[in-house]
Every structure is written in structure tokens, then in C-alpha cells.
Amino acid sequence: MKVKFYGVRGSLPVCGREFDRYGGNTTCIKVHRENANRIAIIDAGTGIRNLGKEIINTGLSQNIINIFFSHFHWDHIQGFPFFAPAYNGDQKIGILATGRFGKINNLKEIFSMQMQKEYFPVNLEMMGAQFEFLTYGDNETLYGATLKTVPQHHLSPGGSYGFGVEDEGVKLVVCTDVEHLDGIDTTIVNLAKNADLLIHDGQYTPDEYKKFKGWGHSSYEHAIEVALMANVKRLVITHHDPDHNDDFLDAMEHECQKLFPNSIFAKEGMEVSV
């Protein structure tokens, strides 16, 4: 299994030379299941635009491209209207909300609303691809992979959801947009137990978290605590604050590696084998 990051920023995209090395696009992650030669996408922040261009340029052929959504805040859906494969009439695209079976009445409406004429010149029906809107439960087997989903504390109607994927004999866990309000959430620890790779929100420094407690995000120390408690092999910290430039993130990463040596901060274009 390979994981590639196309957007690692939280809240809103940023640009400027001081953000070149880590990137300025918002959350988008590609998971490539090598045994099945299939890709899946987690979240459609602005980073999905470059992923879409890559899919077109490499000639990837897949009957359905599934996009899993942790939640539907702007920074996780704002790239969707610019996803090139969505304009291919021969392409099927799955819009998946796991852990939300019976909790969302109309998943299609969430995406239709952001593409109303007041906001975007092309509506959902005009994009061209064949869309499937699906909600799943907490434990599913999809395309031979085991998928477990747990609710997370986050400031969103219904919160956000963390994913645990087991396939090819390895375990990948993605917990972005998660806050540990009153001590580390044991639900998240259990999800991440013995994971080969944990991708975890670490938007704030410990001092910043004191000011932003209740905003729905973690400090990098929270991410490390989860990694240690869950006995994960590797940790990637993501959802970088838009005010944190490259030099700042370098310094934060250095502090993290003192506490958990096998940790790294996510960068756009970074690929990790699991």
C-alpha cells in the first residue's frame, strides 16, 4: 500500500515562497492498493486538483474512483469542482461517507449546494461523470479491504470521522480534524492500535492549543500521545495551520522527533509506503 499527499494544509489554502516545501493546498490523500492496483482518495481539499491532473496525464483507468470524506468543511470539499476526472462522461465517481449510514439524508445535496450558480458556473449535473452517493456503517469490507470508521470530536454537524484500513497485511489509520478535549480519546487510540502508519491532525503547538481549545483540532503532542499509546510504527502529522511557514514546521517536526523518532510532517507530493 502506498500513500501520497496532495494537500496537507488545514482551514484554508496558502501561497508564498515561505510555504513552498510543505505546500499550501488543503487536505487530499491518495491511497494506492498495490495488490488490487486500485486507488482511493481521502477528502477533496484543493490538493485534489493536482491529483486529478495526474490521473488524466498518467491515463489511469479505473471503473470507479472512490472519494472518502472525513467530513464536509470547506477545506475538505473545496477542490471537488476542479477534479478533472469528474468531467469525464465515461468515469464513475463514488462519493462515500463512512460511519454515517442512516445519519445523512441526502449526501448528494451537500455537493450540489456548493455548486449552485451563485457559487460556481458548472452545477453538479453538468460535470459529466457518473456519480454514486453512498453512506456506509462503522465496519465494512470494500474491494477486499477492511474499513473501520469512528466518530471524532470536531466542530461540524455530526463531527468528523477517522478511518482505519487493513489490507495487504498492513494497517493504515487516518485521523484528521480531531480534537482530544479531556485527555486522549481512547476510541482513537483503539482505532490506531498497532497501526503501521498513523496520519494524525497536529495543527497546533501545545501553547497554541491552550488558546484554541474547542476549535476541533489537535496539537502535535496529542498526535504523539496517540502514537505512543497505540504502539504505532510510524506517524505522519498533517493539517498544518495556515500561519505555520516552512521554517516553523521544520522546528515543530524537530521537536516531535525528540518525542517520537519515527515521525514526520506531511509535505505535498510526499509518498509513503506502508
Average confidence (pLDDT) over 35-56: 95
Number of structural domains (the chain) is 1
All 3 cell numbers of residue 46?
484543493
- Contact between residue 253 and residue 265 where contact means Cβ atoms under 8 Å apart: yes
pLDDT at residue 104 greater than cutoff 90: no
Q: Over 90: is that where the pLDDT of 176 sits?
A: yes
Q: Which residue has the higher pLDDT, 237 or 104?
A: 237
pLDDT value at position 50?
98
Which residue in 185, 119, 123, 174 sits closest to 147, CA to CA? 174
Residue 72 CB coordination number (10 Å): 20
- The angle, 0 to 180 degrees and rounded to 10, between the axes of the packed helices 220-230 and 246-259 is 30
Q: In Å, what is the CA distance from 10 to each residue of 38, 59, 247?
A: 27, 30, 17
Per-residue model confidence as pLDDT tens digits over 32-42: 988 788 999 99
Stretch 16-30: mean pLDDT, rounded? 98
Once rounded to an integer, what is the mean pLDDT over residues 230-243?
98
**CATH number, position 190:** 3.60.15.10
Cβ-based neighbour number of residue 53 at 10 Å: 14
Q: Is 59 exposed, middle or buried (0-12, 13-18, 19+ CB in 10 A)?
A: exposed
Instruction: Give the separation between CA 9 and CA 73, rounded to whole angstroms.
Output: 13
> How far is the CA of 236 from the CAs of 3, 216, 233, 263, 272, in angstroms?
11, 19, 10, 6, 9
Q: State the cell numbers at 182.
A: 479531556
pLDDT in tens, 54-88: 999 999 999 999 999 999 999 999 999 999 999 99
Query: Is the predicted pLDDT of residue 272 greater than 90, yes or no?
Result: yes
For residue 155, the model assigns a pLDDT of 84
Cβ neighbours of residue 274 closer than 8 Å, sequence gap 6 or more: 1, 2, 3, 170, 172, 196, 197
Check: CB of residue 219 under 8 Å from CB of residue 240. Answer: no
**Residue environment code for 133-149, b if the CB has 16+ CB neighbours within 10 A, otherwise e:** bebbeeeeebeebebbb
Region 219-241: mean pLDDT is 98
Q: Is 274 exposed, middle or buried (0-12, 13-18, 19+ CB in 10 A)?
A: buried
Question: Residue 1 pLDDT > 90, yes or no?
Answer: yes
Give the mean pLDDT of 188-202.
98
Q: In sequence order, what are the residues at sequence separation of 6 or more whose Cβ sits closer than 8 angstroms to the Cβ of residue 214?
A: 155, 179, 181
Rounded distance, CA 93 to CA 156, Å? 25
pLDDT beyond 80 at 157: no
Mean pLDDT of the chain: 95
pLDDT for res 36: 80
Q: Specify whether the CB–CB gap between 33 and 145 falls below 8 A.
A: yes
Considering the chain, what percentage of its residues have pLDDT values greater than 70?
A: 99
Instruction: Check: CB of residue 149 under 8 Å from CB of residue 159.
Output: no
- pLDDT at position 158 over 80: no
Q: Cα–Cα distance between 255 and 12 in angstroms, integer?
A: 25
Owning domain of residue 102: 2-273
- Percentages helix, strand, coil for the chain (3-state, rounded to 5) are 30, 30, 40
**pLDDT over threshold 90, residue 144:** no
Segment 44-53 shows an average pLDDT of: 98
Place of cell 488545514: 10
